[in-house]
Structure 1
Amino acid sequence: MRTVIGIDVSKNKANIAVTTYLIVVKESAISLDMLGFNELKHVVLQFGGNPEIVFEATGVYSRRLEYFLQREHLNYHILNPLTAKNRIATGSRLRKNDKRDAQRLAITEFTEQLEPYLLAYKQDPIYRELTDMNRYYDQLNEDKKRARNRVHRVLQLVFASFGATKDGFDFDNKLSWELLTIFPHAQLVRDIGDLNELESQILSAHFKGVGSKRAHDSARKLWKLAAKNGDAVNSDNTRQMKALAEQVLALEVKQNQQVSRMIELGKSLPELSLLQTIPGIGSSTAIRLISELGDLRRFHTRQQLNSYVGIDTTEVDSGDHQSARHITKHGNPHARRILYWTVILMINPQMDNNHIRDAYQKRREASSSKKKLIVRQMDRLIKTILYLIKTNQPYSYELSPHSK
């Protein structure tokens, strides 16, 4: 007798529907805490001890339930949100609530999953830990972007020429932010009145990697920019500029520390060193790819991995109509973003020889869309990564498929 327990997980509770032979035989609601989990365990024991459990991935809320099921060694099927949405939607009328969702999840497990779902490959918990760490890294990056946007507004009031497009400082350079912490207003540079004193103050700040020559060049550049700057204010915006520059630097330090912790945690994984043999992938990119892609050994084909990332293509072909193909973007946007910028690095002319750049340059002139061409190389890179990890081999340009 096949028994399926459908669970609709929300923030603080979960609705349960126990189904046997497509008939709902028991329904209840539990809290997402140990009391509720013990109730669920009691229901599981009541129906033989090992029924099938199906629920939708709902971010951090379903993680607690998943951990409990793993710890109790219970068989569960966790659904992608889009898959769950398609299962739950029925008929032309919208009738949706938590109770009905739990019923639909349980009933459709019979019709959509004809054989009981068995989790064929269980990932090491280290991969989930790395995913959480990388999400925090992304949060820090978003905070840094917001701080940089605020800097742009304040800079126009206190030192607009500092960030001038042609002659100003490059904000991708750490020194630029460090200089703004000690000279957040053009008038502060002009008040010094002596180029040697300006250079001396830069040296006395003991910025990492800044010697006498670099300090001299920075001082001369600051002198010229401050002399031609048109000030708007000389008030609290100066304090804001200094605070924002310090905030950007602090967030960058936190990001670097987070990556170091990730590398330390993942150094036992063999794929960390394998990925770094690919030109354009350093230790930081490698560990972030692993954190978002997880254990690639659980994927049997490149198409499965493409679907997970979200670069599989849509297809609408009906009658005489055939639509243009686009990527679905239904997968992991974090992994997709990392892969995109990795390809950008690999196709750089200054990068070491690699088959990704060869394929890109071969098709660049004939392609009408640079972005589509980059997505094709993302697919090629995924194929390469999957092959290297499955076969436990380092990357070799000589053995790579140049002409394919």
Structure 2
Amino acid sequence: MQVTFGIDVSKSTSTICELIGESKNELTITNDRPGFIQLLKELSAFSKHPQIIFEATGVYSRRLQAFLEDYGYEYVILNPLKAKKEMDLGLRHNKTDKTDAYHLALIQRLYHHPVNQLQSPTYKQLNSLSRFYDQLTSDLVMAKNRLHQILQSTFPEIEALFCSAKGKNYWQIILRYPHCDLVEKDGKKHCL
């Protein structure tokens, strides 16, 4: 008998549809230890590991992924766009967490997606560090753009003073004179 678990992962809960042969059982768990223990009880009720399928939903699905790996369960994790496309091919009519979990289980039965290969801890750490680096880079670009906009409002002439890259001297002048009026006031002090 084929057993498939379709799991629709949200922020704090996951909706599960267990397809056991032709019957289905639906439940909702919390995405924390008690909820995952409840899922473990459902999974361990079967002598043969069931097929498990869910969508990649960023940080939310990573907790489920780690839990399944810790307990030795194989799973299929689908890209959300691929899952949507496959659901839209006649499976999905009304979008709800329950129907998504059910349709994910049906997708696995129809398409027999291969299980995901487990990544080494080193590779996972590199992925995590890469995402962190990308976020820092994005934050830095946004901060520089904000600073540039503010300087255009308070001291637009500063750009004309420096032809090349903005090095140490540029930033020291900005620190000392964040507004053009401060240059004029400082000039008057030195003239007296």
- The 1:72–1:122 alpha-carbon spacing in structure 2 relative to 1, beyond 3 Å, is same
Q: State the TM-score, normalizing by the size of structure 1.
A: 0.42
C-alpha distance in 1 between matches for 2:102 and 2:177: 64
Q: Deviations over 1:212-251 (max 9, x none)?
A: xxxxxxxxxxxxxxxxxxxxxxxxxxxxxxxxxxxxxxxx
Q: The residue matched to 1:160 in structure 2 has which SS?
A: coil
- Look up the equivalent residue of 2:124 and give its one-letter code: R
| CA-CA distance at 1:91 after TM superposition | 3.3
Amino acid aligned to 1:142: S
Contact 2:6–2:102 (CA<8 Å) still a contact in 1?
Answer: yes
Poorly superposed stretches of 4+, deviation over 4 Å = 169-172, 187-190
State the match for 1:38 in structure 2: 37
Q: Contact (CA 8 Å) 1:5, 1:17: kept in 2 or not?
A: yes
- Which whole-Å CA distance do the structure 2 matches of 1:75 and 1:20 have between them? 18
Report which of the two has the higher share of strand. Answer: 2
1:207-286 aligned within 5 A: none
Are residue 168 (structure 1) and residue 168 (structure 2) matched? no
Going from structure 1 to structure 2, the CA distance change for 1:184 and 1:51 (only over 3 Å counts) comes to same
Deviations 1:367-386 (A, max 9, x none): xxxxxxxxxxxxxxxxxxxx
Write the distance in 1 (CA, Å) between the matches of 2:66 and 2:26. 22
Structure 1 contact 8–16 (Cα < 8 Å) conserved: yes
Q: Which structure 1 segments of 5+ residues have no match?
A: 198-404
Determine if the alignment matches structure 1 residue 177 to structure 2 residue 171.
yes
TM-score, reference length from structure 2: 0.83
Q: Alignment identity in percent? A: 38
Give the alignment partner of residue 152 of structure 1, picking from 148, 153, 160.
Answer: 148
Unaligned runs of 5+ in 2: none
Displacement, 1:96?
1.1
Alpha-carbon distance in structure 1 between the residues aligned to 2:120 and 2:8:
26
* 2:59 matches 1:60: yes
2:21 matches 1:18: no
What CA distance in whole angstroms lies between the structure 2 residues aligned with 1:91 and 1:124?
Answer: 37
Q: Deviations over 1:347-397 (max 9, x none)?
A: xxxxxxxxxxxxxxxxxxxxxxxxxxxxxxxxxxxxxxxxxxxxxxxxxxx
- 1:20 deviates by 3.1
CA contact (8 A) 1:24 1:103 kept: no
**Cα distance, 1:125 vs. partner?**
1.8
Instruction: Give the partner amino acid of 1:52.
Output: Q
Kindly provide the CA deviation profile for residues 145-194 of structure 1, in whole angstroms up to 9, marking residues without a partner as x.
33323333332344322113xx5354554542243112323454452589
Deviation at 1:8, TM superposition (A): 0.7
Aligned with residue 132 of structure 1, among 100, 112, 128: 128
Which residue number in structure 2 is paired with residue 322 of structure 1? none
Taking the aligned partners of 2:169 and 2:87, their CA distance within structure 1 comes to: 54
Tell me the secondary structure at the aligned position of residue 184 of structure 1.
Answer: coil
User: Cα gap change, 1:140/1:179 in structure 2, threshold over 3 Å: closer, same or farther?
Assistant: farther
- The answer to which structure, 1 or 2, has the higher relative contact order (CA under 8 A, 6+ apart) is 2
Deviation at 1:59, TM superposition (A): 0.6
Query: 1:295-347, CA deviations, whole angstroms, 9 ceiling, x for partnerless residues?
Result: xxxxxxxxxxxxxxxxxxxxxxxxxxxxxxxxxxxxxxxxxxxxxxxxxxxxx
Instruction: Give CA deviations for 1:274-308 in whole Å, capped at 9, x if unaligned.
Output: xxxxxxxxxxxxxxxxxxxxxxxxxxxxxxxxxxx
Letter in 2 for 1:71: D
Native 8 Å contact 2:52 2:76 kept in 1: yes
Pick closer, same or farther for the CA change 1:169–1:178 going to 2, 3 Å. Answer: farther
Whether 2:93 is the aligned partner of 1:99: answer no
The number of aligned residues is 189
Kept in 1: contact 2:4–2:51 (CA 8 A): yes
Alpha-carbon separation, structure 1, partners of 2:70 and 2:36: 11
- The aligned counterpart of 2:70 is 71
Look up the SS of the partner of 1:30 in the other structure: strand
2:139 equivalent in structure 1: 143
Structure 1: distance between partners of 2:102 and 2:140 = 44
Distance in 2 (alpha carbons) for counterparts of 1:126 and 1:106: 31
Deviation at 1:12, TM superposition (A): 0.8
Could you say what secondary structure the match of 1:73 adopts? Answer: coil
